[in-house]
């Protein structure tokens, strides 16, 4: 049975910190799910770590739905949240409802995530009223990277901090079941977490959020273009994979692979028959 939004709320009520991770494919989803991670986000970060874009903006709804299907197939316990890409919900609540519905119906997600605070509160309310659980996302919102002037810490001034608090309250009142706080000062995240009834999920937001989310490719050392300050590398899979690929290529070149152990056989009589047949062609 999958984790529910009520289970996530229960973590906060019990003071139980929880981890969340992104995943974009069947194999990774199986590993994350087996580790007992309660929330798996099919993030639009797939645009950067899977598709090679400079940022998340080029990601399409069909991309997210495609990857969500794979993650749902690879998991049986985690709550799967589909990230709604740029311009799939900003136009109107009706546009958001149609596209969020596709994430649930076609992708198989159990919830969606969208970026923004006060400006999307009406949209969150519309989705929740229609039975679609919503994870909110405030602070550094990558889909607004051009407006923000880059990937910068948010909420550092008095005015900016107040706006973030207002955003947090707005999404809670609109019915979001949780809110991601990305790249905000730790003390501000702590105060927001204390002030909200819904769980906060930090990424670059200090140690006091109710939960923590990271990009799986970052913690595994699979994506090596850069390492964000807010993450920790728990493995170096890119290096291990590079060594394995080089070893494979060298074994093929030197005829050490494949061996009889990696090959299939047929009856000797058939071998002789085929040899005779090929001799006749010469």
Yes or no: say if 153 and 101 are a contact pair by the CB < 8 Å rule: no
Helix, strand, or coil (residue 136): strand
**Distance between CA 85 and CA 199 in Å, rounded?**
23
| 103, 107, 113, 115: CA torsion to nearest 10 | -60
CA 65 to chain CA mean position, Å: 12
**Distance between CA 79 and CA 109 in Å, rounded?**
8
CA distances (Å), 266 to each of 256, 274, 276, 278, in order?
A: 22, 11, 16, 17
**Distance between CA 204 and CA 110 in Å, rounded?**
25
Q: Which of 182, 239, 273, 275 is catalytic?
A: 182
- Would you call 182 a catalytic residue per the annotation? yes
Q: Is the peptide bond before 99 cis (omega within 30 degrees of 0)?
A: no
Element (H, E) at 201: strand 200-203
Q: Which residue reads 């991770």 in tokens?
A: 21
Q: Which residue reads 């999920």 in tokens?
A: 201
- Which pair of structure tokens corresponds to residue 182? 């990305």
Yes or no: say if 40 and 23 are a contact pair by the CB < 8 Å rule: yes
**Distance between CA 89 and CA 69 in Å, rounded?**
20
Yes or no: say if 47 and 63 are a contact pair by the CB < 8 Å rule: yes
Q: Give catalytic residue positions.
A: 182
């Amino acid at each position: 049975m999958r984790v529910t939004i009520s289970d996530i709320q229960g973590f906060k009520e019990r003071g139980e910190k929880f981890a969340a991770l992104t995943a974009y494919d069947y194999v990774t989803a199986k590993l994350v799910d087996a580790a007992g991670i309660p929330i798996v986000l099919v993030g639009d970060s797939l645009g950067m770590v899977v598709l090679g874009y400079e940022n998340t903006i080029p990601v399409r709804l069909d991309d997210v739905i495609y990857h969500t299907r794979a993650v749902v197939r690879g998991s049986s316990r985690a709550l799967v949240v589909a990230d709604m890409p740029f311009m799939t919900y900003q136009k109107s609540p009706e546009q958001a409802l149609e596209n969020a519905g596709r994430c649930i119906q076609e992708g198989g997600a159990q919830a969606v995530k969208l970026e923004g605070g006060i400006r999307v509160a009406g949209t969150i309310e519309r989705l929740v009223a229609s039975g679609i659980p919503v994870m909110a996302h405030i602070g550094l919102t990558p889909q607004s990277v051009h407006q923000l002037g880059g990937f910068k810490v948010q909420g550092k001034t008095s005015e900016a901090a107040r706006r973030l608090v207002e955003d947090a309250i707005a999404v809670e009142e609109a019915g979001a079941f949780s809110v991601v706080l990305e790249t905000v000062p730790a003390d501000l995240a702590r105060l927001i977490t204390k002030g909200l009834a819904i769980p906060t999920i930090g990424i670059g937001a200090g140690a006091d959020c109710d939960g923590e989310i990271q990009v799986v490719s970052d913690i595994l050392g699979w994506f090596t273009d850069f390492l964000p300050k807010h993450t920790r590398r728990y493995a170096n899979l890119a290096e291990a994979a590079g060594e394995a690929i080089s070893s494979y290529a060298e074994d093929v070149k030197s005829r050490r692979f494949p061996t009889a152990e990696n090959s299939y056989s047929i009856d000797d009589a058939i071998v002789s028959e085929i040899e005779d047949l090929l001799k006749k062609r010469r």
